[in-house]
Amino acid sequence: MDKAISGIRTQWPVRAAATICLTVVVIAPMAVGGFRPHWWLMFASVLFFAAALVTYSLVQSTRHIRFLTHGAPGLAPLYLVFLVGLCLHVLRVGGAASDADAIYGLIRQLSYAALGWTLLQALTRGQRALDYATVLVVGFLFYAVYGLITIDRTEWLFFTKADYGGVATGPFVNRNSFATFLAMGMSLTLASALADDTGVGRQYRKHDAKIPELERRRREVRRDYDALQSARPLEHRRADHDIPDAEVISP
């Protein structure tokens, strides 16, 4: 049930965990882009905490756990197989440069899984998915502007820029990494724009448009009922309360 479902209220721990994950995603490039692995461990710890918070909340409640069963049914099993293979590789082979590199890679992939798990449980409404995407798009926009500013203002970077002088690299040490990062933002922006007319956005607007019409019909039915009750003779209205149930249902 990977589709966003309207009408299901998400518990506050799940929403808080999703907010934590979005915050990590937005600020992570500022630190990790400088290629400092100790930041991976810190951010991974935060994502693991968020995933644990969501899991605890789901266990304590009666809400169903959401899985990718419609949009991408084979994605989660394949990624699970990849994680198992990566664990075996770390245990049996190790890293190309050092065993620490392999462990860092494993922790990074596990943190990605924790991030996906947390956001999947939080995205119970279509509009919430669009709101989260908007937050990320704003973050990408900030980094694009930041990259342009720091072409000359290298002192605003959080690391010493030794290469690519006069070239926009943003918070990354490599211009190719920065370009790939911005390409991800462009893809997300395009998908969010298309969602206004397809998929999530259309479903949300269709559902939202029905609410005023249903409310209007409910008021009309209530008004007609009250009018009919007022038009009936008083003795008939009194008789309705005096007739036994057996006489009401008998032919």
Residues 43 and 161 in one domain: yes
**How many CA atoms within 13 Å lie on the side-chain side of 156?**
13
Q: Is residue 145 part of a domain?
A: yes
Residues 211 and 112 in one domain: no
Residue where one domain finishes, among candidates 184, 199, 214: 199
Both structure tokens of 216 = 């209007």
Residues 128 and 224 in one domain: no
Structural domain of 107: 12-199
**Is the pTM of the predicted complex or chain greater than 0.85?**
no
Q: Is residue 250 part of a domain?
A: no
Residues 18 and 71 in one domain: yes
Residues 212 and 169 in one domain: no
pLDDT tens-digit series, residues 108-167: 899 999 999 999 888 877 778 888 999 999 999 999 999 999 998 888 888 788 888 889
Q: Is pLDDT at 25 greater than 50 in this prediction?
A: yes
Taking a C-beta distance cutoff of 8 angstroms, is the pair 124, 8 a contact?
Answer: yes
Q: How far apart are the first and last CA of the chain?
A: 47
Residues 100 and 221 in one domain: no
Number of domains, the chain: 2
Residues 89 and 142 in one domain: yes
Q: Is residue 105 part of a domain?
A: yes
Q: Is residue 143 part of a domain?
A: yes
Q: Is residue 251 part of a domain?
A: no
Residues 180 and 134 in one domain: yes
The pLDDT assigned to 98 comes to 66
For 168: left if phi > 0, alpha if psi spans -120 to 50, otherwise beta; the answer is beta
Residues 83 and 160 in one domain: yes
pLDDT tens-digit series, residues 52-109: 999 998 888 877 777 776 666 778 888 889 999 888 888 887 666 567 778 888 888 9
Locate tokens 């990354």: which residue? Answer: 172
Residues 40 and 122 in one domain: yes
